[in-house]
Every structure is written in structure tokens, then in C-alpha cells.
């Protein structure tokens, strides 16, 4: 089973290494990981994609919640959420038919060409994982020179803002963090 986990953490040096090291040391494989600042610069949000049953998810949650710099952990997989990935793909495309083919496919997938060189173009594409995978497969026959992808990012749809960051800034862990943990037990 695929789980998308969102963890709000204090934005301090070493948090990413601590969290990813803890997961690796316990044998959990991270399919995807993305980290970035939140609306409050004192906090970052980590989005993990992990595979495993509910027992694995519960263990991961408990281990993450033990880390002092982790403010909140949510499994958003069972909620209504938006998920996106970003890719930059450098494709062999000299002027002419090859470049036109790349441009047309990029437009169909709502991608955009962000760099043009004599013998290649770089296409930026964002969207759901299957959209990115589909575009990559169509680019392979044209000659992918280089490919870089972000990890998945995700956000629950229509949720009211949480108080987690305000409470964490005051030095307290969110009150609903404990109850959220119990609901996954």
C-alpha cells in the first residue's frame, strides 16, 4: 500500500538528515521525499511517499513523532488531496522536425520549454506521477539526455488552516497530534 505522509518540522539544520537517517536505519525505503519551507519560515514541510501496510505506517509515525524537531505527522493518503511532481527533461532536438515534435508533445502535456540549445531543449512538466511518467515514455524515443525530478508534494484539499505552526512556535506540540496518533493505532 502506498502512503503519502506530511510532516511539519522545525526549520533547523540537520532535520532532513535526522529524519531520513532514522527511516533508513530502520529499513524503511522512501519512494519520494520533498522538503520546503512553509508559510512560516520557522517550519518546513516534508512529504514522504512510502510503501507498506498499516503496521509499517504506524511504526513510521511513532518513530517520526519521537524526533524533537518534528511538530506534526499526518498520513494524508486516505484524505482528498492534490499531489504534484516536477520534472526537467533535456531532450535531443536539433532544429526542425525533432524540435517540433518535442514542442507539440510538451504542449499536449501542458509542459513548457524552458531552455533551447543548438542540439537540445529542456522541458519543464508538472503534474500527477502518471502524467510525468507518460511524458517521459514519449520522450525516450526522441533521446532523453538528462532527467531530473522532484519528489512528490501534496496538500489536503479544502482543509481549514491548522493551528499547528502557531502552537509549535509557542513551544507546544499540537494538541490534536496525540489524538491523530491514536486514530492510526
Per-residue pLDDT of the chain (185 residues; tens, 9 = 90+): 889 999 999 999 999 999 989 888 888 888 999 999 999 999 999 999 998 888 888 999 999 999 999 999 999 988 999 999 999 999 999 989 999 999 999 999 999 999 999 999 999 999 999 999 999 999 999 999 999 999 899 999 986 655 555 455 555 444 343 333 333 33
* Helical packing angle, 175-183 and 54-66, nearest 10°: 160
Strands of the chain, DSSP E:
2-10, 30-37, 43-51, 70-75, 81-92, 112-116, 120-127, 144-149, 153-156
pLDDT at 174: 44
Give ranges for CATH 3.30.70.1150 in the chain.
Answer: 82-149
Give ranges for CATH 3.30.70.260 in the chain.
Answer: 2-80+158-183
Three-class DSSP category at 57: helix
The CATH number of the structural domain formed by 82-149 is 3.30.70.1150
Q: Which CATH fold topology does 2-80+158-183 show?
A: Alpha-Beta Plaits (3.30.70)
Amino acid at each position: 500500500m502506498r502512503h503519502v505522509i506530511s510532516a511539519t518540522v522545525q526549520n533547523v539544520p540537520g532535520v532532513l538528515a535526522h529524519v531520513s537517517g532514522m527511516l533508513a536505519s530502520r529499513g524503511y525505503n522512501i519512494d519520494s521525499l520533498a522538503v520546503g519551507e512553509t508559510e512560516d519560515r520557522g517550519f518546513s514541510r516534508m512529504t514522504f511517499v512510502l510503501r507498506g501496510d498499516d503496521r509499517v505506517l504506524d511504526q513510521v509515525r511513532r518513530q517520526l513523532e519521537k524526533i524533537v524537531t518534528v511538530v506534526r505527522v499526518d498520513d494524508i493518503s486516505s484524505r482528498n488531496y492534490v499531489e504534484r511532481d516536477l520534472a526537467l527533461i533535456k531532450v535531443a532536438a536539433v532544429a526542425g522536425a525533432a524540435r517540433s515534435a518535442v514542442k507539440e508533445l510538451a504542449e499536449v502535456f501542458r509542459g513548457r520549454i524552458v531552455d533551447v540549445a543548438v542540439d537540445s531543449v529542456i522541458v519543464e512538466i508538472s503534474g500527477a506521477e502518471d502524467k510525468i511518467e507518460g511524458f517521459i515514455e514519449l520522450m525516450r524515443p526522441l533521446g532523453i539526455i538528462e532527467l531530473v525530478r522532484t519528489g512528490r508534494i501534496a496538500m489536503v484539499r479544502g482543509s481549514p488552516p491548522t493551528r499547528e505552526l502557531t502552537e509549535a512556535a509557542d513551544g507546544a506540540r499540537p494538541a490534536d497530534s496525540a489524538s491523530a496518533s491514536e486514530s492510526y493505532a
